[in-house]
Amino acid sequence: MTMRAWTKGQDQSLMRVIEPAKDRGNGTLTDGDNMWSYAPKINRVIKIPSSMMGQSWMGSDFSNKDVSRVDDIVDQYDHTMLSTTEQDGITVYEVEAIPHEDAAVVWGREVLFIREDYVVLQHAFYDQDGELVKKLESLEIGEMGGRVIAIRQRMVKADEPEEWTEVAVLSVDYDVELNDSLFTQSNLRNPRN
């Protein structure tokens, strides 16, 4: 599947399927804590309720929450540095994130390995019983658009390690002026930009 995506700040994003032809036009819009999907076959924009944020996004191993760009892990978790190591001359931090008592989150804890240049090498998600549910791993890191990023990542569910969803970035542009009209339900349904 090939997609095109736009983001503005931390709160707005739009993803639209380009290929294959049978899925062309399917899209996902996020604006703050709100998320909508559009399916051209039924010509409907559907709001994704908070109760479905943990569900699969477009049949993948990513959840709606994973692609919604919500920064809950910053606001609703306490963080502990577990270790600091060197990898190919770059410092890597192992960080454990435990949700606050009153946080409305799914995970019991999350563990991240983050390079000093902010590239996430691994992000593991654990349930309330401390069991690993799924893991995001960066398989390829490189420079694109003048920045070092994870070019290829794979999400794998712990109970189905032989199946996964892989995302590869083919090209990227930064610091592009985007109109607010791009991030509307109307544009999700009838692309103008």
Token readout for 23 is 């899925």
User: What pLDDT score was predicted for residue 70?
Assistant: 61
User: What pLDDT score was predicted for residue 103?
Assistant: 77
Distance CA 111, CA 23 (A): 34
Q: Are 111 and 96 in contact (CB under 8 A)?
A: yes
Q: Are 161 and 176 in contact (CB under 8 A)?
A: no
Mean pLDDT throughout 16-45?
90
3-state secondary structure of 166: strand
pLDDT, tens only, 130-147: 999 999 999 999 999 999
pLDDT band, very low/low/confident/very high, at 154 (cuts 50, 70, 90): very high
Helices (H) and strands (E) in the chain, counts: 3, 12
> What is residue 63's DSSP assignment?
B
Above 90 in pLDDT, residue 66?
no
Token readout for 2 is 């090939």
Mean pLDDT throughout 18-29?
90
User: What pLDDT score was predicted for residue 90?
Assistant: 95
Q: Are 66 and 48 in contact (CB under 8 A)?
A: no
Mean pLDDT throughout 7-22?
90
Q: Does residue 100 or residue 57 have the better pLDDT?
A: 100
What are the extents of the domains in the chain?
Answer: 1-60+176-193, 71-162
User: What pLDDT score was predicted for residue 193?
Assistant: 56
pLDDT, tens only, 88-118: 899 999 999 999 988 777 789 999 999 999 9
What mean pLDDT is reported for the chain?
90
pLDDT band, very low/low/confident/very high, at 54 (cuts 50, 70, 90): confident
Alpha helices in 58-184 (DSSP H): 64-67, 72-75
What's domain 71-162's architecture?
A: Clam (2.50)
Q: Does residue 133 or residue 63 have the better pLDDT?
A: 133
Token readout for 66 is 């994973």
Beta 2-8 vs 77-87: how paired, if at all?
Answer: unpaired
Q: Which helix (H) or strand (E) holds 188?
A: helix 185-189
Looking at the chain, the whole-number percentage of residues with pLDDT higher than 90 is 64
pLDDT band, very low/low/confident/very high, at 71 (cuts 50, 70, 90): low
For 39, phi and psi rounded to 5 degrees?
-120, 110
Looking at the chain, the whole-number percentage of residues with pLDDT higher than 70 is 98
Distance CA 164, CA 11 (A): 27
> What is residue 175's DSSP assignment?
S
